[in-house]
Amino acid sequence: MAEFQNIQIHGFEDFKKQLAELPGRAGRNVLRGAVNAGATVIRKEAVLRAPQYTGPVAEGHPPPGTLKKSIYQKQITELSSAVQQTFFVGVRQGKRQQAVKRGKNVINLDAFYGRFVEFGTSKMPAKPFLRPAFEAKKEAAIEAMRAYMAERIPKEVTKAGGT
């Protein structure tokens, strides 16, 4: 089961006013870029924290590092608007079309097992990496969003012909 973390950030009132003054799509683009910057911080930390198998790899199993390579971030357009942007950081699964042929063996690069690692199973203890990455870097992600907006809003205002 996927577990979502919803963050409500307060203290961005000045940025919110400035975004509202930007013409057309500029405000939405700035907000999307800012949330993307925050999601990037979380994704990079999750990649660092994801465990990597170091033992011998059985035939047909994904190579070591597949879990780390499968962590991604994506904008969820259905949940995003001009005043709210939603990004997802998770483990890509079901990507069976991407396989590596090594001799006669085809190795699947699907990291379907990411949820088992994160939450554990009845036979395997959890080794969480996504949730701790979020908890460890949520303040840094907010700061990355703040820095992005502080840099980008004046550029957009200048582009729009403001002061």
pLDDT digits (tens, 9 = 90+) for 78-107: 998 877 889 999 998 875 545 555 555 555
Under 8 Å between Cβ of 30 and 19: yes
pTM for the structure as a whole: 0.79
Distance from CA of residue 35 to its chain's centroid? 10
For 44-78, the pLDDT digits (tens) are: 999 999 999 888 888 877 788 889 988 999 999 99
